[in-house]
Amino acid sequence: MKKKQKTSNEASSPACGPTSLDEKERIAKILAILEKTYPNSKPALFFRNPLELLIATILSARCTDEQVNLVTAKLFEKYKTAEDYASAPIEDLERMIHSLGFYKTKARNIKNTCRLIATKFNGQVPPQMDKLVELPGVGRKTANVVLGNAYGINEGIVVDTHVSRVAYRLGLTKEKQPEKIELDLMRCIPQESWTTFSNQLIWHGRKRCKARNPDCLHCELNLLCPKIGVNK
């Protein structure tokens, strides 16, 4: 059964503040094009349940999803439950994720996070933001990934490097800090679209709106984009 979505105080603010009708129409068109271009978009990380998505997202810090998927293909076969990770020797975890970098910190966070899940949350990844961010190595971005994609809860918007870059170029935010960018986007984007929008913007950042040499010529959003910060 799909969990009931929570309502955020920030999300109750008018869309994009004192937004003109033209700007609301532009955003609606952007959402429509993203939906057409990236239908049924999901994270590139492989997962079968909330625990696997949580582990994969922790591992994805400062490395590519492709690298993570290579590692988790073996990791998820060996460890099935939070108890499995909690009881695993830290050296075994480090060895299995060594290729991803920052492996000592990631292994420690995974082990300690799973220990809390096993002892405090009956072995289940909690579907609440305030409880998720209590877990070692889990911030708001990771919590939003899990809530939106594993539980279908639109608690917030995932702000990674792709979302930050594309949202800025589209003129949806002028902020640089992830927390402030998220608040701007939560005011612009309808709550029921938060998870979908996050995934679509991430894919668009990978496919078209790259950090270097964005493919503006072939971009599906070209006519709606002010290209802020881009050499036109």
Identify the pLDDT of residue 231. 80
Identify the pLDDT of residue 13. 37
- Domain locations along the chain: 19-41+157-224, 50-150
Is residue 96 within 8 A of residue 78, CB to CB? The reply is: yes
Is 225 labelled a binding residue? yes
Catalytic residue numbers read: 141, 160
3-state secondary structure the chain: CCCCCCCCCHHHCCCCCCCCHHHHHHHHHHHHHHHHHCCCCCCCCCCCCHHHHHHHHHHCCCCCHHHHHHHHHHHHHHCCCHHHHHHCCHHHHHHHHHHHCCHHHHHHHHHHHHHHHHHHCCCCCCCCHHHHCCCCCCCHHHHHHHHHHHCCCCCCCCCCHHHHHHHHHCCCCCCCCHHHHHHHHHHHCCHHHHHHHHHHHHHHHHHCCCCCCCCCCCCCCHHHCCCCCCCC
Is residue 231 within 8 A of residue 221, CB to CB? The reply is: no
Q: Mean pLDDT over residues 143-157, rounded?
A: 98
Q: Which residue has the tokens 């994270």?
A: 43
Instruction: Give pLDDT tens digits for 211-228.
Output: 999 999 999 999 999 999
CA distances from 86 to 27, 210, 225 (A): 45, 38, 47
Is 219 labelled a binding residue? yes
Class of domain 50-150 (CATH, top level) = mainly alpha
In degrees to the nearest 10, what's the CA dihedral of 105, 110, 112, 115? -170
Instruction: Give pLDDT tens digits for 49-99.
Output: 999 999 999 999 999 999 999 999 999 999 999 999 999 999 999 999 999
Average model confidence (pLDDT) across the chain: 92
Of 140, 225, 124, the C-alpha closest to 178 is: 140
Is 188 labelled a binding residue? no
In angstroms and rounded to an integer, the radius of gyration of the C-alpha atoms of the chain is: 19
Identify the pLDDT of residue 11. 39
Identify the pLDDT of residue 20. 61
pLDDT at 5 over 90: no
pLDDT at 161 over 80: yes
Q: Mean pLDDT over residues 136-151, rounded?
A: 97
Identify the pLDDT of residue 21. 63
CATH number of 19-41+157-224: 1.10.1670.10
Compute the distance between CA of residue 120 and CA of residue 124 in angstroms, rounded to an integer.
9
Is 114 labelled a binding residue? no
Q: Mean pLDDT over residues 30-59, rounded?
A: 97
